[in-house]
Amino acid sequence: MKEVIEFLQKNPVQYLATIGRDEKAKCRPFMFCFEKEAKLWFCTNNTKDVYRDIQANPYIELSISNAEYAWIRLNGKAVFENNMDVKEGCMTNPIVKGQYSTADNPIFEVFYLEDANAVIADFSGNPPKEYSL
């Protein structure tokens, strides 16, 4: 898990893919918050389409690449939880704090990936590294 977390932290702009409520693929920029209790946490806003899309179909995938042409594909089931410790932790990120101001903002939501799987690969010809998280 350590290699996956480091990759996410070093590459803050990630792309989250969902199946939209219109049954078409949707991809948007997203950001990893942190790992806590062996869970990978993310946050969003419950007024956004992405929130409603995930509620309708919680299986998501993130794709991230770095400047060295390595990438990670991370997928799992998004599980929303009203976890104030996690919400408070997210407030240490100035971008999140700027959007939501406080952890108890009623539109602020956090979720983790259940049964997450990650694949880290590159163009070296070496086999990809796979992780079950």
Number of domains, the chain: 1
Q: How far apart are CA 41 and CA 114, in angstroms?
A: 10
101-110: long-range contacts at Cβ-Cβ below 8 A with a sequence spacing of 24 or more? 106/46, 107/45, 107/46, 107/47, 108/43, 108/45, 108/46, 109/43, 109/44, 109/45, 109/46, 109/51, 109/80, 110/33, 110/41, 110/42, 110/43, 110/80, 110/81, 110/82, 110/83, 110/86
Residue 63 lies in a domain: yes
Q: How far apart are CA 71 and CA 35, in angstroms?
A: 19
User: Are 58 and 78 a contacting pair, CB within 8 Å?
Assistant: yes
User: Are 107 and 100 a contacting pair, CB within 8 Å?
Assistant: yes
CATH label of the domain that carries residue 23: 2.30.110.10
Residue 120 lies in a domain: yes
For position 107, what pLDDT does the model report? 98
For position 85, what pLDDT does the model report? 98
Mean pLDDT of 94-108: 98
pLDDT digits (tens, 9 = 90+) for 49-100: 999 999 999 999 999 999 999 999 999 999 999 999 999 999 999 999 999 9
Q: Give 9's DSSP letter.
A: H
Q: Which residues span the domain enclosing 18?
A: 2-126
For position 36, what pLDDT does the model report? 96
Residue 133 lies in a domain: no
Residue 132 lies in a domain: no
For position 14, what pLDDT does the model report? 97
